[in-house]
Amino acid sequence: MHKIHAAITAVDAYVPDYILTNHELEGMVDTNDEWITTRTGIKERRILKGEGLGTSYMAVHAVNGLLKKRGIDASEIDLIVFCTSTPDYIFPASANVLADKIGAVNAWGFDLQAACSGFVFGLTTGAQFIESGKHKKVLVVGGDKMSSIINYKDRTTCIIFGDGCGAVLLEPNYEGYGVVDSILKSDGSGAPFLHLKAGGSVKPASHESVDAAEHAVHQEGKAVFKFAVTNMADVSAEIMEKNNLTPEDIAWLVPHQANKRIIDATANRMGVGSDKVMVNIERYGNTTNGTIPLCLWEWESKLKKGDNIILAAFGGGFTWGSVFLKWAY
Ligand code: UT7
């Protein structure tokens, strides 16, 4: 009996229509296109407008597209792993909300919270249920409505983040395609540098917390940058070494899109040329859990069966990790 690998067999995504450009941000905070472009690589990001629309709204679009592409019904889904830092509610889980909206009547599910590393954590988690033989169809969704937790008066964060959501389907593969390996790490001492101060059980919402904008992302950018640039590069090099991969063996690097300079440093460390690196940060900014599936979605037509792909992420917490997979179609 061959080992079961968890292969991605379909991918789709959704980004909202509204485009928030650097130019528009110049009218909102003291910033300019040149600063944003050179420091981050971002030109524009998408914003989900509309009363009562949360992250699951985007996930419904992404997953319905995926199901159509794969030609399967939502009732065939066994499990939904919804990776998000901006769930519709603290509870119930957005996985449940999504299951109800798409008609995944036979699925169970849960939300996974690992900030910007959520998708690599979620993919690894979902893969376990395929590899063990427990499930045949697992949806891994990664998405965030970051605009719901951004203070648009804080120029250090509002220029970075955007809204978007992607999803992949994992199914068993018996030919060696799919997720081969992953390295996941976390360091809770990084929490003060990137977090939401209020809204959790430590500091529930109050008039004071709202007035102090403590329900919005707090980031000490320089400190996070230092950790991100080292750890994302290290964990990507580590997974190459562990699997005896040379730069020539790698078809694509799919990095979390937080900062073009962090992406470049990771690619340099791996010895991978820019022609093999998926980058769309200029159009979507940092969509947190959405960045990696949005890349897979945009590059899907260029991917070939057997391509060696490295996913890499770094996020709040701190959390970071890499996944090595062989593309299955
Ligand atoms: O995805 C999860 C993980 N997150 C990350 O990986 C983010 C990591 N951090 C970063 O990407 C970068 O640190 C930022 C893009 C957030 C900031 O870039 P930086 O090169 O580290 O800039 P800085 O924070 O050191 O600020 C440099 C200067 C400061 O002014 P002074 O003190 O030198 O006078 C800031 O006040 O730039 C100023 N500044 C701005 N100027 C224009 C900060 N934000 C802006 C802005 N527009 N939006």
Helices (H), 103-255: 118-131, 155-158, 207-211, 221-242
Ligand 1: atom nearest CA of 31 is 47
Domain boundaries, the chain: 5-175, 180-326
Dihedral angle computed from the Cα positions of residues 15, 268, 124 and 172, in that order, rounded to the nearest 10 degrees: 90
How much distance in Å is there from the Cα of 35 to the middle of ligand 1? 9
Q: How far apart are CA 41 and CA 196, in angstroms?
A: 25
Between the CA of 60 and the centroid of ligand 1 the distance, in Å, is: 34
Q: Is 103 helix (H, G, I), strand (E, B) or coil?
A: coil
Distance between Cα 97 and ligand 1 center (Å): 36
259 CA: nearest ligand 1 atom: 11
Return the residue whose CA atom lies nearest to atom 47 of ligand 1.
31
Closest C-alpha to 65, from 266, 274, 300, 259: 300
pLDDT tens track, the chain, 329 positions: 579 999 999 999 999 999 999 999 999 999 999 999 999 999 999 999 999 999 999 999 999 999 999 999 999 999 999 999 999 999 999 999 999 999 999 999 999 999 999 999 999 999 999 999 999 999 999 999 999 999 999 999 999 999 999 999 999 999 999 999 999 999 999 999 999 999 999 999 999 999 999 999 999 999 999 999 999 999 999 999 999 999 999 999 999 999 999 999 999 999 999 999 999 999 999 999 999 999 999 999 999 999 999 999 999 999 999 999 999 99
Instruction: Please give all residues whose beta carbon lies within 6 A of any atom in ligand 1, as ranges.
Output: 31, 35, 39-40, 116, 155-156, 159, 221-222, 224-225, 228, 258-259, 262, 286, 314-316
pTM: 0.97
pLDDT of residue 167: 98
Ligand 1: which residue has its CA nearest to atom 16? 221
From edge to edge, which strands make up the β-sheet containing 79-83?
Answer: 5-14, 163-173, 138-145, 79-83, 108-112
* Mutate which of 222, 261, 262 for ligand 1 pocket (most atoms within 8 A of beta carbon): 222
Residue 304 neighbours by CB distance under 10 Å: 9
> Does residue 182 come out as left (phi exceeding 0), alpha (psi in the -120 to 50 range) or beta?
beta
What's the confidence (pLDDT) of residue 98?
98
What CATH code would you report for 5-175? Answer: 3.40.47.10
Q: Which atom of ligand 1 is nearest to the CA of 221?
A: 13
Q: Measured from the CA of 229, which atom of ligand 1 is nearest?
A: 6
Residue nearest to atom 26 of ligand 1 (CA): 222
Phi, psi of 36 (to 5 degrees): -65, -45
- Check for a shared fold between 5-175 and 180-326: yes
Which of 89, 155, 149 is CA-nearest to residue 287? Answer: 149
Which mutation among 29, 30, 156 tests ligand 1's pocket best, with the greatest number of atoms within 8 A of CB? 156
Cα of 224 vs centre of ligand 1, distance in Å, is 10
Atom of ligand 1 nearest to the CA of 25: 48
Q: What is the DSSP letter of 303?
A: -
The pLDDT value recorded for residue 2 is 76
Helices (H) and strands (E) in the chain, counts: 11, 13
Strand, coil or helix: what is 51?
Answer: coil
**Quick one: CATH architecture of 180-326?**
3-Layer(aba) Sandwich (3.40)
Tell me the two tokens of residue 186: 């976390």
Q: What residues are annotated to the active site?
A: 116, 256, 286
Residue nearest to atom 29 of ligand 1 (CA): 156
